[in-house]
């Protein structure tokens, strides 16, 4: 199967009083051997924090932890001394080498929830230096087109240490976007808001907020807007890769 439609109701839900999240792949205490990611894309978390809520400082290693702010004010802090206030449309790449650097996420608003995607892509080389990049993209930049937020060095967007690309789009009703996955490539499409039609070799499906499409072989996708405006997120990755560091010693 090259195309799998995943409905929002079937995605693992996690709550902690101060947060509510949809975990698309195995993460933390959630373990599903059939949901270990796609290639080096290992985590896709659709996170919501209550007003003032905080993910406290915690470490990672040998991964790039990536963030896209959907709604609210995202407060970033890390053990490198950085502190940021990111608005909707902002993207961040935090590179974690082998030294267990730490970061935290905070809802900077006291009266509005925060929603953000946090996803992990494993790097294609070991022993990276800890670093942070971020950029505030505009709504206009992603309206009725795919905006590349992250890609390999030398291509548009923030730099990734992997042959992967992350795109977002705001698609109006009747608008159409095309994505082609070459042999050996796969990806994951997530509807953040609204309703779209997705056409592929498997036929046509209607996707709503929280629904996703997993692509694991050569494929062409056409996405057509249904609502006045739909928000989309897409990651495109190699299917074969070599894990490094702690990821070379674990299957999840």
| Confidence (pTM) | 0.96
Using alpha carbons only, how large is the chain's radius of gyration in Å? 17
Q: What is the mean pLDDT of residues 8-12?
A: 97
Q: What's the distance, CA 176 to chain centroid?
A: 22
Which CATH superfamily hosts domain 3-249?
A: Jelly Rolls (2.60.120.10)
Which whole number is the average pLDDT over 12-18?
A: 91
d(CA 243, CA 129): 17
Contact 48, 83 (CB under 8 A): no
CA 168 – CA 145 distance, rounded (Å): 8
Instruction: With H, G, I as helix, E, B as strand and everything else as coil, classify residue 242.
Output: coil
Calculate mean pLDDT across residues 91-100. Answer: 96
CB 118 within 8 A of CB 65: yes
Mean pLDDT (the chain, rounded): 95
Residues 92-100 have a mean pLDDT of 95
Q: Where exactly are the structural domains of the chain?
A: 3-249
Residue 252's pLDDT band (cuts 50, 70, 90): very low
Residues 6+ apart with CB under 8 A from 103: 57, 58, 60, 65, 76, 77, 78, 79, 94
Average pLDDT of the residues in 65-81: 96
Q: Which of 210, 170, 204, 172 is nearest to 189 (CA)?
A: 210
Torsion, Cα of 22, 24, 30, 33 (10° steps): 160
């Amino acid at each position: 199967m090259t195309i799998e439609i995943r409905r929002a109701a079937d995605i693992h839900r996690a709550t902690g009083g101060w947060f509510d999240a949809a975990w698309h792949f195995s993460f933390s205490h959630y373990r599903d051997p059939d949901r270990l990611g796609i290639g080096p894309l290992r985590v896709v978390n659709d996170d919501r924090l209550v007003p003032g809520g905080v993910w406290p400082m915690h470490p990672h290693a040998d991964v790039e932890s990536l963030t896209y702010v959907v709604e609210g004010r995202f407060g970033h802090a890390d053990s490198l001394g950085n502190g940021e206030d990111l608005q909707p449309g902002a993207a961040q790449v935090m590179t974690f080498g082998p030294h267990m650097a730490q970061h935290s996420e905070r809802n900077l608003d006291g009266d509005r929830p925060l929603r953000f995607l946090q996803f992990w892509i494993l790097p294609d080389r070991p022993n990276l230096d800890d670093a942070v990049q971020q950029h505030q993209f505009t709504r206009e930049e992603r309206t009725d087109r795919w905006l590349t937020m992250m890609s390999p060095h030398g291509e548009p967007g923030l730099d990734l240490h992997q042959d992967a690309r992350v795109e977002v789009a705001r698609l109006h009703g009747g608008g159409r976007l095309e994505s082609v996955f070459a042999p050996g490539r796969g990806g994951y499409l997530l509807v953040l808001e609204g309703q779209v039609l997705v056409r592929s070799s498997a036929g046509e499906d209607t996707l709503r907020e929280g629904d996703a499409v997993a692509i694991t072989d050569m494929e062409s996708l056409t996405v057509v807007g249904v609502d006045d405006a739909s928000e989309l997120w897409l990651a495109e990755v190699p299917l074969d890769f070599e894990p490094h560091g702690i990821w070379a010693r674990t299957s999840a």
